[in-house]
Amino acid sequence: MKEIIETLEKKWNKFNNRETCLVQCCLDGYDDYLNVVFKPIASKNYKYVYDLLDWNIPDDLKSFYKECNGLSLFSESLLIYGATNDNNDIYNTTDIVHENAISKLKKSMPKYSDMIIFGSYGYYYFCYKKDYDKKIYVIGSVEKDVVHTFKSIDELLKYYVTKLLNEYDSNGIKKHKNVEMLDTPMENTSYEYI
C-alpha cells in the first residue's frame, strides 16, 4: 500500500491529512476528490464483517485493513471496500457488508454465489471465494466470467493504478472523459473495459 501512495504522490504531490482519511487532489469545480485512502480501523471491526457475511477475512485483506480501511482512487474508478463505514467524516469508505448485500453479481451470475466482493474497477468486481483459495478473482459483469486473477491486493492495486495513472493529467482530470457523463462529477471516472 505504501508503494501505491508514493506512486500517487509522485504524480500529484497533494496528499492532505484529514481526521479519518488521506485525501489527494481536489478536482476543480467539484467537491469530489481524486483519491481517498481511509485510515485503518481496529481489528474488532472484523467481527462485524464475520457476523454479517459469515466470512473469515483473508490475511491479505486483514493486512490491507491494518494500513487503510478501504480506498477510492481515480474518482471512484478503483474501489476497495472498508470493513465498516461508521466514522463521522463525510468521505466514508464503502462498506463491504452493504456492497455484498446489494450486489447484483450473485443474482445475475449464480455460479459466483460463493464469492465475497471486496472492491471494483468500473464494471468489474474484485472477489474472494468464501472458502479462500489464495486468489483474487476479477469478474466482469459484461463478460459474466472471471477475466483476471491476482495473488494479492498489492499485485491487483499495482496493475490497476499503473493502468489508470496515465489517464489523468497533473490536475487530476481524466484526459479522455466519459462522453455520456460530461458536465457531471462522474465524467472524471474511468469505466473502460480491460
pLDDT digits (tens, 9 = 90+) for 145-163: 999 999 999 999 999 999 8
The whole-number pLDDT of residue 129 equals 95
- The C-alpha atoms of residue 180 and residue 56 are separated, in whole angstroms, by 40
Cα Rg, the chain, nearest whole Å: 16
Task: Work out the burial of residue 135: count CB atoms within 10 Å of its CB; fewer than 13 is exposed, 13-18 middle, 19 or more buried.
Answer: middle
The whole-number pLDDT of residue 194 equals 36
The whole-number pLDDT of residue 140 equals 93
The whole-number pLDDT of residue 87 equals 52
Which residue in the block uniquely carries the three cell numbers 459484461? Answer: 142
| 193 pLDDT tier (thresholds 50, 70, 90) | very low
Nearest to 121 by CA among 90, 95, 145, 156: 156
Question: How does the average pLDDT of the chain come out, rounded?
Answer: 82
Strand order across the beta sheet in which 115-121 lies: 15-17, 21-26, 33-38, 71-73, 78-80, 115-121, 124-129, 136-140, 145-150
